[in-house]
Amino acid sequence: MPYPDRNAYPDRFYPVVDSLAWVERLTKLGVGTIQLRAKDLNDAEALQIVTDALAITEGTQAKLVVNDYWRAAIVAGAKYLHLGQEDLADADLKAIREAGLSLGVSTHDDAELATALAAKPDYVALGPIFFTTLKSMRFEPQGIPKITEWKKRIGTIPLVAIGGIKFEHAAEIFAAGADSIAVVSDVTQNTDPDARVRQWLGLPAEAA
């Protein structure tokens, strides 16, 4: 797999993690796009973790994407935001745009895609591509053909595939039309996460 284009957003490899420790680890490995998805935080906790994560990535190649906490993202001066459908419904899109935040939106069906496109997103995420045990999903796995269909519908907007994807699926998913692959368990639950990340980045596993 070719090395990620540093100017592209989101990068072709797009890990999603839930802690500052993971953000730091991935940043040191040279990951270009990292989503911080920490759940159930109050406003003060959200602002703290976003501020701390931005401090970790400052001056590096890593672009930090804040999941859900759009108010904290604005206050902390983040540049990238990802919203699920419920978060999108509660968000102030005008304030988000005025703050200069890039916006990615999750989709799972036609209605959600229409809602996402109305928000004029900078990328659209489609999931779950495969079965995932990480969270209970109200949606059945989408399957790889859905990627091609979604890409045709959104045109030049980058398409992120997410949900149960492993490195071994990457070539087929990119071939189907995905611009980026969001990865959770293939990194965070891997027996050797650093080697797996290097594999995704196209680096030899033994490279320091």
Average pLDDT, integer, range 156-182:
97
Res. 93 pLDDT band, cuts 50 70 90: very high
pLDDT score of 66 more than 60: yes
Q: Give the mean pLDDT of 160-170.
A: 96
The confidence score (pLDDT) of residue 138 equals 73
Mention every residue, 6+ apart, whose C-beta is less than 8 A from residue 59: none
Tell me the pLDDT band of 8, cut-offs 50, 70 and 90: confident
| Rounded Cα gap, residues 208 and 197, in angstroms | 12
Domains and CATH numbers, the chain: 13-201 (3.20.20.70)
Percent of the chain with pLDDT over 70: 92
Owner of token pair 């920490």: 38
- Whether the pLDDT of residue 137 is over 70: the answer is no
Whether residue 1 is predicted with pLDDT greater than 60 in this model: the reply is no
CA distances from 22 to 53, 82, 162, 199 (A): 10, 18, 18, 17
Instruction: Answer whether residue 203 shows pLDDT above 50.
Output: yes
- Provide the whole-model pTM: 0.94
- Nearest CA among 98, 92, 96 for reference residue 81: 96
Q: How far is CA 84 from the centre of its chain?
A: 11
Confidence of residue 95 (pLDDT cuts 50, 70, 90): very high
50 Cβ contact list (under 8 Å, min separation 6)? 36, 66, 69, 72, 73, 76, 78
Helix or strand or coil: residue 123?
strand
Provide the pLDDT for residue 131: 87
Q: Report the chain's terminal Cα–Cα distance, integer Å.
A: 19
Query: What are the residue ranges of helices labelled H in the chain?
Result: 20-28, 43-57, 70-76, 85-90, 93-98, 110-118, 144-154, 170-175, 185-188, 193-201
Largest CA distance in the chain: 46
Omega prior to 204 cis, within 30 of 0? no
DSSP class of residue 2 equals P
Helix 20-28 vs helix 43-57: angle between axes, to the nearest 10 degrees?
10
105-114: average pLDDT: 97
Overall average pLDDT of the 179-188 stretch: 97
Average pLDDT over residues 11-20: 98
Confidence grade of residue 135 (pLDDT, cut at 50, 70, 90):
low
Q: How confident is the model at residue 3 (pLDDT cuts 50, 70, 90)?
A: very low
